[in-house]
Amino acid sequence: MEDKDLQKLIEEISLKYFNRPFLHKASFNHRLKTTGGRYLTSTSNIEINKKYYDALGMDELVGIIKHELCHYHLHIQGKGYKHRDADFRLLLKKVGAPRFCTPIQTQELKPKAFRIYECVNCHLQYKRVRRVNTNKYRCGKCRGKLKELGKRVDMQP
């Protein structure tokens, strides 16, 4: 699916569910990470995360579009278009739009490097991503001197 197909789909959904035309621009934004789409109040354009369409299909895409069109039409009419507004929640129920999109697992496991420090007295170990000044900081348990044991790598999201 391309931007022109998305534009056409949003215009059709707008007329079908809201009985109002969508007069602005719709596009896919590949930089969106944690959200299915967004409505831009400054330009009244809608951006959709293509990863949700690829991972979850057309039904999820239609739900995201309905949600963003609720923001769009309420903002154009001067009503409450934010998530906490009663007008927004009422329109979501009326058109059958989801309040939140289904989460997808997009983050891959990346290696995370950290340093290991150990107290010379009580042998308590500390993992730190940032370097610790061992001349300035001491053990939180016994106030003993810290020494760096080295770097390790874990797999973390």
Going residue by residue through the chain, which has 157 residues, state the pLDDT in tens, using 9 for 90 and above. 788 899 999 999 999 999 999 999 999 998 988 888 999 999 999 999 988 888 888 888 999 999 999 999 999 999 998 999 999 999 999 998 888 888 777 555 567 788 999 999 999 999 998 999 999 999 999 999 999 998 877 655 4
Please check whether residues 68 and 138 belong to one and the same domain: no
Query: Domain check: are 114 and 146 in the same one?
Result: yes
- Residue 22 CA to chain centroid, in angstroms? 25
- Choosing from 95, 121, 144, the residue where a domain stops is 95
Lookup: tokens for 43: 């330009």
The answer on 89 and 137 residing in a single domain is no
Q: Has residue 101 been placed in a domain?
A: no
* 34 DSSP 8-state letter: S
Same domain, yes or no, for 69 and 142? no
Strands of the 146-156 sheet, one edge to the other:
125-128, 110-119, 146-156
One domain, residues 72 and 7: yes
Which domain range does residue 67 map to?
A: 3-95
Tally of domains within the chain:
2
- Examine residue 45 and state whether it is found in any structural domain, yes or no: yes
Which residues does residue 113 pair with via DSSP β-bridges, in sequence order?
A: 153
CB atoms within 10 A of CB 32: 17
- In this prediction, residue 108 carries a pLDDT of 59
- Do 115 and 50 belong together in one domain? no
Which residue is catalytic, options 11, 68, 108, 148? 68
Report d(CA 53, CA 65) in Å as an integer. Answer: 11
Confirm whether 68 is a catalytic residue.
yes
The Cα–Cα gap between 148 and 134 comes to: 8
Residue with tokens 């309420």: 74
Burial class (CB in 10 A: 0-12, 13-18, 19+), 61: buried
Residue 128: which residues within 8 A CB-CB, separation 6 or more? 114, 115, 117
